[in-house]
Amino acid sequence: MARKRIHSRRDLPPNLYVRNNGYYCYRSPRNGKEFGMGTNKKEAVNQAIEPNITLFESYSQSRLINRLIGNNANSMLTWLDRYHEIISKRGLREKTLGDYSGRINLLKEYFVGTNLQEITTKDIAKLLNSYTDQGKAASAKLMRSTLLDIFREAIAEGMIQLNLVEATRNPRVEVKRERLSLENFLLIRQAATTLPSWIGLSMDIALLTGQRLGDIRKMKWSDIKDDKLYVEQQKTGVKLSIPLSIGLPAVDMTLNSVIEICQKIHAGSETILASRKQEMLGEKTISKWFAKSRELTLLSWSGSPPSFHEIRSLSARLYTDTISGEFAQKLLGHKSAAMTEKYQDSRGSEWIEIAV
């Protein structure tokens, strides 16, 4: 049962309060912010009635019980369901869509009982800060990106007019994983010669093609036609036609020379790289054996040791130096040069030569 107002406040309209010194204040039911109204009771009452009427009209289409459980057309929960429908039509990979669904469910829990139009920049900042305070800056950055898109789509459908997420700080993510230098790559590659042959060959193909691990493990003999390797990137859907003649003078290899070695070892398999049983290799298997090769070098790292994926960055840097940045961008399958620039950044792993 609602608490009764004390005697001095009984005849005041909702949201209007009087202090012990006789000073009147109006408290906004939306955000709790108070506005001074002076000491004249009649004037304070008259001024409080107008915003109360306006607020009542704005909520009259949404019953309180529906607002509490988020069961109305303007609730954040309803809009998040609609947003899921929108992204489901974007042709995203199953894994990517699953990642979106996970973040949407987290947002449903956070904004339960909240109308889309009632959400403030402060609400969003509080959510993002909850991640950064736990040292999860990368998660905060990803959530902010998702929220930007959620509110952008809401504007497109006329649900809101402003994207409140744009006013929030973009979390800064400190990358701790070290880049892989050419010198260290060669040391790891040499160490791999003491392990199953496919380990070193997977490194060679990664360096020469600049492709992701998921695409490398699935490369098939049937993907080679007219002296070209055809790759449809699993993550982006980008289709590439890579000539087998492609090569890097820094390692004195061409893709064709590596493919010829693979033919001698894995000719009986469906995929270019295969296990001893001529079966397709798993991503975790390749990553684990790469880590073993890396550990055999006894190299020390100031941050997190480079993963297999860092070979893709090394490839981008080498092709940028030997051919061009534009060539590296096309090979990696990036739509923007800005994305390629992230891979071209050595993060201080390489020495800068000063010409005399």
Annotated active-site residue in 144, 179, 266, 334: 334
* Residue 144 bears catalytic tag: no
Q: Which of 45, 211, 77, 235 is nearest to 223 (CA)?
A: 211
Annotated active-site residue in 152, 235, 239, 335: 235
Annotated active-site residue in 103, 136, 309, 330: 309
Looking only at the bridges linking them, the beta strands covering 239-243 and 247-248 are unpaired
* Residue 212 bears catalytic tag: yes
- Torsions phi, psi for 46 (to 5 deg): -60, -40
Residue 11 DSSP class: T
N-terminal to C-terminal alpha carbon distance within the chain: 85
* Residue 343 bears catalytic tag: yes
Cα gap 188→242, rounded to integer Å:
25
Cα gap 332→35, rounded to integer Å:
57
Longest CA–CA separation in the chain, Å: 95
* Residue 141 bears catalytic tag: no
* Residue 3 bears catalytic tag: no
* Run of H or E residues at 214: helix 213-216
Place of tokens 């008259």: 46
Q: Give the CA angle between residues 117, 122, 124 to the nearest 5°.
A: 70
- Assess contact for 164 and 121: CB atoms under 8 A: yes
Annotated active-site residue in 144, 179, 189, 212: 212
* Residue 312 bears catalytic tag: yes
Annotated active-site residue in 217, 294, 312, 317: 312
Q: What residues are labeled active site?
A: 212, 235, 309, 312, 334, 343
